[in-house]
Amino acid sequence: MSGVVIVGVDGSAPATAAVEWAAGDALRKDAELRIVHALDRYPYAIAGVAVAGPEDVLSRAAEQVLEAAEAVARSRQPTVRVASEVVEGAPAVVLQEQARQADELVIGDRGLGGFTRALLGSVTMKVAGQAPCPVVVVRDGPRERIGEIAVGIDDSDSCEPALAYAFEQAGLRGATLRLIHAWQVPVHAFAPEIFFDADEIHTTLHEMLRRRIAPWEARHPGVKLVEDVQNAHPVDALTGTACDLVVVGSHGRGALGSLLLGSVSRGVLHHARGPVAVVRGDARRHADEQGAGVTVA
């Protein structure tokens, strides 16, 4: 397997965590690790005042950010092929453009203000909602290896790319893949005569899961699977599971289409304690090129 794993860096602690995660995944994929820093001059632009000069402070700072990130990557994974680049422009725009060249894009979460652990930065949300390849959002902080990956599944074809990515990750890591489908009994306070047989629902949903995963199980016979059907909200089910990676799909709806993340993927990004991979529907192209799949929730 080969390709390019791109990680966006800005010198922050979450970006450092993203470099560490990306270096490990590049090693597993036998891919090149490309470290990218977006040099955004706009916040420093003042009408009539030149930002650049004989000694461009911003450019030198950008190079220092890359040097520090490269050092982290090489110390964690000395055998990984590493390249780095400074690209001028707004971070969200730069990273979305870089994602066109990547098999995977990794970024750190960047919360703002007093709700840092609850909210993600606008760059993170824009990139996760629009990048054409899988986007992994990594949080800063110690992580204990669980040996399990979780992926959300529903009964629509839109979860296929996420399934492909999750099966690939589980195979590369030798991890168990937990297949999560969450359902909730509809509120029927005004129609109490409607009866739901929980056992029958569970049986039907497990059958749906088996049909959905059968092609991927055939491609990845070595991956251990756990079927997990829960009577819970999807966000609660996915974020309440202890795992090394949560894989979700992007189901944006409405006039803005791909500019939006679906409510489940957005909720998981906000509240998950560990790394989250967001896989859009058009990531199928990447899966087909690799001869594997991509899993979406």
Which range has the worst mean pLDDT, 67-81, 168-182, 238-252?
238-252
Average the pLDDT over 58-80 and give the result. 95
**C-alpha torsion 208→211→213→217, nearest 10:** 140
Q: Which of 118, 142, 293 is nearest to 212 (CA)?
A: 293
Whether 157 has a pLDDT exceeding 90, the answer reads no
Residue 172 has pLDDT above 50, yes or no: yes
Prediction pTM value: 0.83
Determine contact, residues 106/22, Cβ cutoff 8 Å.
Answer: yes
How far does the chain reach from its first CA to its final CA, in angstroms?
24
Quote the CA–CA distance of 224 and 216 in Å, as a whole number. Answer: 12
Please say whether the beta carbons of 8 and 102 come within 8 A: no
* CA-based radius of gyration for the chain: 20
Three-state helix/strand/coil letters over 27-82: HHHCCEEEEEEEECCHHHCECCECCCCCCCHHHHHHHHHHHHHHHHHHHHCCCCCE
Average pLDDT on 205-225 reads 90
Q: How far is 25 from 59, CA to CA, in rounded Å?
A: 29
Query: For the residues 34-50, what does the mean pLDDT come to?
Result: 78
Alpha carbon 240 to its chain centroid, in Å, reads 17
- Going by C-alpha positions, the residue among 163, 154, 36 that lies closest to residue 95 is 36
Residue 119 pLDDT: 43
Q: Among 32-46, 111-125, 147-161, 203-217, where is mean pLDDT lowest?
A: 111-125
β-bridge pairing 276-279 and 135-138 = antiparallel
Q: Tell whether the model's pLDDT for residue 11 goes beyond 60.
A: yes
d(CA 244, CA 275): 7
- Among residues of the chain, what percentage have pLDDT more than 70? 77
Angular region, 11: left φ>0, alpha ψ -120 to 50, beta rest? left
Q: What is the pLDDT at residue 186? A: 62
Q: Tell me, what's the pLDDT at 74?
A: 97
- Residue 103 has, within 13 A of its CA and on its CB side, a CA count of 25
Cα angle 223-226-229, degrees, rounded to a multiple of 5: 145
Of 11, 57, 4, give the one whose Cα is nearest residue 34: 4
What is the architecture of the domain spanning 144-297? 3-Layer(aba) Sandwich (3.40)
In angstroms, the CA 268 to CA 180 distance is 13
CATH class given for the domain over 1-142: alpha beta
Domain ranges of the chain: 1-142, 144-297
* Residue 137: CB atoms within 10 Å: 27
> Tokens 């679906």, residue?
262
